[in-house]
Chains A and B, each alone.
Chain A
Amino acid sequence: MTDDLNIAEMLGEAPKTPDPGFRIDVLARVGARARRRAALDRAWRQIFTFTLIGAVFPIAQALGLTWQSAQPLVLTGAVLALAYLFAALTIQGPRPLLARSRAVLRGV
């Protein structure tokens, strides 16, 4: 009872045949970790985007831009945003876009 194998057996053994339950648990964890990582990436992207949007106004003010002088730029931006929305709706349909907007509002 004192050789290496016996000591190993007393310290702990694993099933010799593959356990399907173990594999399923591993794959579930893989999925959960991927979802967590994707959520984190999404959160960082949203923080970056909204920070950028929020920074536009103080930067414009600091640069001395008035509404009159910035009007062409704002209008161009608005047209581009509308064009993007139209393209996204055309390509993906309204449901994914709405779902995404809902997720943004919920802070997911």
Chain B
Amino acid sequence: MDGGEEARLIGLARRGDMHAFGRLVDAHQAAIRAFLRRLVGNAADADDLSQEAFARTWEVLERYDGRSSLRTFICGVAFQYWRRARRAGARRQAREDAYAELSDTQTQSDPRMARRLALRRAMEELPEDQRAALALCLGQDFTHQEAAEVLNLPLGTVKSHINRGRARLQAALGVSAETGQ
């Protein structure tokens, strides 16, 4: 979707046009859902958060000033929702950790699944901002500059988060960070 068409749809959505907002949801859902799926690690929970983030975006669309892209704006809303949900869901996290350990014993025979679990664990051990920066940029959905806008961090900090985080994820996969092999 080009910028002019997006601006037109934003204008219509601000005046209460749900159909226009639905088209904006269609245009940006892949990036937002992928971002949250990488952050959360559970597709159903991530999609739930994505829907809440879009619904909240509808309410605060007036505050969107056009300085960043709409996708960045929605992602910022989604990031805030994730942080809030993470703080509220500490108990559930403990339950999921126990489940992950159980799954680990069951998936030892499946090397790909074991690698996924190792990666997920490494991701969960990262600090919040580092984790979010990786979730935004690893899939090349967002540029470093966009990630800096979403996370409200300096560009240099985002680049450093990505380099350090990537090294830790590669280490979890048993790969040397220098060679990438």
Contact = CB atoms under 8 A, between A and B. Distances in A.
B51 A22 contact: yes
Interface in A21-60: 22-23, 25-27, 29-30, 33
A20 B138 CA distance: 26
B52 to A, nearest CB: 7
A35 to B, nearest CB: 12
A10 B119 contact: yes
A22 B55 contact: no
24 contacts: A2-B173, A4-B139, A7-B169, A8-B138, A10-B115, A11-B37, A11-B135, A12-B34, A12-B38, A12-B46, A14-B34, A14-B37, A16-B30, A18-B29, A18-B30, A22-B33, A22-B47, A23-B26, A26-B55, A27-B18, A29-B52, A29-B54, A30-B18, A33-B55
Contact of B22 (A9, A27, A33): A27
A30 B20 CA distance: 14
A20 B23 CA distance: 10
A11 B141 CA distance: 14
Given A5-B138, A10-B116, A12-B43, A18 B26 contact: yes
Interface size classification for chain B: 35 or more
Interface residues of A, number: 26
Contacts of B173: 2, 7
Contacts of A16: 30
Given A7-B138, A7-B169, A11-B38, 19 more contacts: A5-B140, A8-B38, A8-B140, A11-B123, A11-B138, A12-B34, A12-B46, A14-B31, A18-B29, A19-B29, A20-B26, A23-B26, A25-B51, A26-B22, A26-B55, A27-B21, A29-B54, A30-B54, A33-B59
Interface of A: 2-5, 7-20, 22-23, 25-27, 29-30, 33
Contact of A30 (B47, B55, B115, B166): B55
A14 B25 contact: no
A26 B116 contact: no
B141 to A, nearest CB: 8
A26 B34 contact: no
Given A18-B26, A18-B27, A26 B38 contact: no
In the complex, the 7 A-B pairs of residues with the closest C-beta atoms, listed nearest first? A12-B37, A14-B33, A8-B139, A18-B26, A8-B138, A29-B55, A14-B34
A107 B70 CA distance: 40
Contacts of A7: 119, 138, 166, 169-170, 173
Nearest to B162: A4
